[in-house]
Amino acid sequence: MKVFFVYTTVSLLLFIISFSAYKFYPEHLNTILSISLVVQFIFLSIIYFNIIRSAKIKKLIIFGTFAYIVFWIYNFLKSSFTDLDTTPFAIECIFFMFLIVYYFYEIMRFNLDIQLYQLPSFWISVAFLINFSGTFILFLFSKPLLNDPEFANQNLVILSTITIIKNILFCIALTTTKKLINPKNHSTLPADLNLDSF
């Protein structure tokens, strides 16, 4: 949750910077949006690194993050900054949709003590999954249509709706409280206590 708070604060700051750039320095808008994308990727990686249990997937997150950063730097250096390149966003969508679905698999398999809707991470994941799945196709095929006013209107409606849903789900995540259903029956036997020498 701490990482999530930092993420939302940084997102807000990036939004303010993007909005200012849009108003005063429109030529730098694409650069700022591109930077905000990689920042979002890093924060989401940290969030899912903390909540996913599987060691293999954790390794995949670390590897994926480094690979993404390398790709982003390469893409950033070769881009002309005149058009918004949506490929890194599409990669981010696929990567996190996979992670979120895996996280759902994990909570279905291991989370037997807490009701699902009492987990803040569940609501955060649903919010991100809706956000990514709703904007994935939009960004993947939007490049040839960026200057079409009809597309821009439609794009605005979809993005606004998804952002509102995402923020509502974030609010739900912040208000949820954990409540244990059954305490687990674990042995309290300390590992170093000798019970095996006769």
Partner 1 sequence: MIFLQVAANTSSRFNYIMLFGTLAMLCLTLGIVFFVIFHQRKVIRFNDQLKKLEDDKQQILLNASIKFQEEERNRIAADLHDDVGPLLATARLYLNENLINQEPAAQLQSIFSAKQIIDDAIQLIRNISHSMMPPTLKNFGLESAMSDLFQKINGSGTLNASVRFHDYRTRLKIEQELLIFRIIQELVNNIIKHSNAGFIHLTQNANTTHSYFRLHHDGQGIVQTEFDRLNHVSTGLGLKNIASRIKVLNGRIFFEIDPSHTYYKVTLEIPKDSTY
Which one-letter amino acid corresponds to residue 25? Answer: Y
How far apart CA 7 and CA 96 sit, in angstroms, is 15
The nearer residue to partner 1, 40 or 135, going by C-beta atoms, is: 135
Report the nearest approach of partner 1 to the CB of residue 74 (Å): 27
Q: Which residues are near partner 1 by CB under 8 A?
A: 101, 104, 107-108, 111-112, 115-117, 126, 129-130, 133-138, 141-142, 144-145, 148, 150-151, 154, 158, 181-182, 185, 187-190, 193-198
75 burial level (CB within 10 Å; 0-12, 13-18, 19+): middle
Minimum distance from CB of 107 to partner 1 (Å)? 7
Query: Which CB sits closer to partner 1, 83 or 148?
Result: 148
Distance CA 192, CA 181 (A): 31
The alpha carbon torsion through 60, 136, 80, 22 (nearest 10 deg) reads -120
Inter-residue contact 47 to 4 (CB < 8 Å): yes
Closer to partner 1 at the Cβ: 29 or 93?
93
Cβ proximity of 22 and 67 under 8 Å? no
CB of 31 to partner 1, least distance (A): 26
Question: Which of 8, 76, 9 is CA-nearest to residue 38?
Answer: 76
Of 38 and 107, CB closest to partner 1: 107
- Please tell me what DSSP assigns to residue 117: G
Kindly state the smallest distance separating residue 35's Cβ from partner 1, in Å: 26
Min dist. Cβ of residue 148 to partner 1 (A): 5
Taking the least distance from each CB to partner 1, the nearer of 77 and 189 is 189
139, 86 contact by CB (below 8 A): yes
Give the N- to C-terminal CA distance of the chain in Å, as an integer.
48
Nearest distance in Å: CB 153, partner 1: 10
Nearest CB to partner 1, comparing residues 76 and 151: 151
